[in-house]
Structure 1
Amino acid sequence: MSAGEHRRAVTAALLAAALLTAGPAGAEPGAAAFDAAIAATRAAAGCPALVADPLAQRAAELSNRSTADYLDHRAEYVPVDDPLAVLHDLGSDAAAAVQLQGAADTAADAIEVALLQGYATLPDCGYQRLGTSVIEHPGGQTLVVAVLIGGPGPATAG
């Protein structure tokens, strides 16, 4: 895929994601919209759909919770920034992993931030598995995290 085609695919996917997450006024799209936006971005790039992975899901939840705790000044440590280390601790055989994060006043905006962060990663068809987490933070922000995994076979929940 040329650089121009890549830009067009990502732009089309971001537009589709914005339309998917817009919803009725006052509605918070949440996890289903986040997953749909990621799927639209992948489809626009010609990649197969990502497969839900229970260990990636758990890693996304742990990462998101660590960020929420940090924002609440309750964390012992800084938030998770290396999903591969977390995945290995959970028993995954993943060879590569990337974490996309977004935080904003609305879920739609948080999803857009995460998608923009993944502009080069989401169209990479080497990533095959996915876990996502969406938290409505009491401080008024929505936090979203996606963990994408590329590597040897599917993970198993332990």
Structure 2
Amino acid sequence: MPVLQTLGYPAGKAKLIPGYGDTEEKAVRGVMVHGWEAIPDCTYTKYGVNVLPGDGYVLTALILVGE
């Protein structure tokens, strides 16, 4: 959250949910497994997603932001 505030984004709360796997599907599943509690929380009103393929692995990240 400090990074969001430094960038001028008025975030009241934020959650970073990572995922990892040897395929995109497994990396996205990792986000779902780690974020099962936070994803359905309707107080998070904005989100961002990133997929970073590497050499034999894929990293994913989901950030949820609420005001």
- TM-score with structure 2 length normalisation? 0.94
Which aligned pairs between 1:55-134 and structure 2 lie closer than 5 A?
84-134=1-51
TM value normalised by structure 1: 0.41
CA displacement at 1:130 relative to structure 2: 0.6
Give 1 or 2: higher strand fraction.
2
Larger radius of gyration: 1
Q: Tell me the distance in 1 between the aligned counterparts of 2:43 and 2:57.
A: 32
Number of equivalenced pairs: 67
Structure 2 unaligned blocks of 5 or more: none
- What SS is found at the alignment partner of 2:9? coil
Higher relative contact order (CA 8 A, sep 6+): 2
Residue 108 of structure 1 aligns to a residue in which SS? helix
Residue 142 (structure 1) aligns with: 58
Secondary structure of 1:140 counterpart: coil
Greater helix proportion: 1
Equivalent AA in structure 1 for residue 24 of structure 2: A
Structure 1 gap ranges (5+): 1-83, 152-158
Q: Indicate the SS of the match to 2:25.
A: helix
